[in-house]
């Protein structure tokens, strides 16, 4: 267990360690663990960022982070973190960050292992069942690479701060004191995307915490810069393969879902 001062209590014999603590509104800058980590919040929401992308994790999802993977983590308000750590050689053999579903059984097992003083045999049995529950949930990550050039970076940071701002690249250039042609060249060169496509990624990434919090699609669309919910849904589905309403469910969209969205 990890106490409020961040110390582990080891159960020995290669047992899973579980860190449980309140992390309301905190950010954990880029770091690595020697162990595999299952990043999960029993309440609230976590956002994990690595070179491979950004993942928004409500309590129904967790992220398997292989040992040695650099990542940063942001906790929303009212968030309680409860992260199991697995020694090398334990758990799935995923070599990249992988989203998993956390159902009722997995949830109770993690909380049980975090809180209970268990005999070694009972702990091993509970750990084995938890490991059996870890199944990958296919999701599309939404990557937002930042440019390096100071002129493009200034524009990029402003867009991230206010994704709903619908200013054109020329308008952004005037604000940043940069020529529009320069910015139009820098974004593809340094992010691999045109400015328009890059801003779409920013808007969709900004939408994920709002969707995970249960806000209506129409509200989310407006907050991230779309004039109509239908326009937002169309772009979201094109990029992720699913409509916003099913992104945080652990199932594929049905024909009825497609008809409704």
What gap in Å lies between CA 26 and CA 77, rounded to an integer?
Answer: 8
- Closest by CA to 214, choosing from 241, 249, 239, is 249
Query: Which whole number is the average pLDDT over 191-197?
Result: 96
| Both tokens assigned to 96 | 């990249």
| 97 vs 258: which has the higher pLDDT | 97
What gap in Å lies between CA 188 and CA 184, rounded to an integer?
Answer: 7
In SS3 terms, 104-147 reads as HHHHHHHHHHHHCCCCHHHHHHHHHHHHHHCCECCCCCCCCCCC
pLDDT > 70? residue 237: yes
Average pLDDT, the chain: 85
Per-residue pLDDT, 121: 86
Per-residue pLDDT, 209: 87
| 188 vs 53: which has the higher pLDDT | 188
SS3 75: strand
Per-residue pLDDT, 66: 93
State the fold for domain 17-133. Jelly Rolls (2.60.120)
CATH code, 150-260: 1.10.10.60
Domain boundaries, the chain: 17-133, 150-260
Per-residue pLDDT, 215: 92
What gap in Å lies between CA 197 and CA 178, rounded to an integer?
Answer: 20
What gap in Å lies between CA 138 and CA 143, rounded to an integer?
Answer: 16
Per-residue pLDDT, 213: 84
| 38 vs 117: which has the higher pLDDT | 38
| pLDDT single digits (tens) 62-82 | 999 999 999 999 888 788 888
Percent with pLDDT over 90 in the chain: 50
DSSP 8-state code for residue 238: H
241: buried, middle or exposed (CB in 10 Å: 19+, 13-18, 0-12)?
Answer: middle
């Amino acid at each position: 267990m990890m106490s409020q001062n961040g110390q582990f209590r080891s159960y020995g014999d290669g047992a899973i360690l579980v860190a449980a603590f309140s992390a309301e509104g905190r950010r954990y800058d880029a770091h690595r663990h020697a162990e595999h980590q299952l990043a999960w919040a029993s309440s609230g929401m976590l956002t994990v960022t690595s070179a491979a992308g950004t993942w928004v994790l409500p309590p129904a999802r967790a992220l398997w982070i292989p040992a040695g993977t650099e990542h940063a983590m942001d906790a929303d308000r009212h968030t309680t973190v409860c992260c199991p750590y697995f020694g090398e050689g334990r758990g799935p053999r995923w070599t990249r960050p992988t989203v998993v579903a956390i159902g009722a059984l997995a949830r109770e097992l993690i909380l049980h292992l975090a809180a209970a003083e268990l005999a070694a045999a009972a702990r091993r049995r509970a750990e084995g069942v938890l490991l059996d529950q870890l199944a990958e949930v296919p999701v599309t990550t939404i990557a937002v690479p930042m440019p390096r050039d100071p002129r493009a970076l200034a524009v990029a940071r402003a867009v991230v701060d206010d994704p709903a701002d619908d200013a054109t690249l020329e308008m952004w250039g005037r604000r940043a004191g940069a020529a529009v042609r320069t910015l139009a060249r820098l974004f593809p060169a340094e992010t691999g995307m045109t400015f328009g496509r890059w801003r779409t990624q920013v808007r969709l990434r900004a939408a994920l915490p709002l969707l995970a919090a249960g806000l209506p699609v129409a509200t989310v669309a407006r907050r991230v810069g779309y004039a109509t919910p239908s326009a937002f849904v169309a772009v979201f589905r094109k990029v992720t393969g699913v409509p916003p309403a099913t992104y945080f469910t652990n199932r594929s969209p049905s024909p009825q879902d497609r008809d409704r969205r």
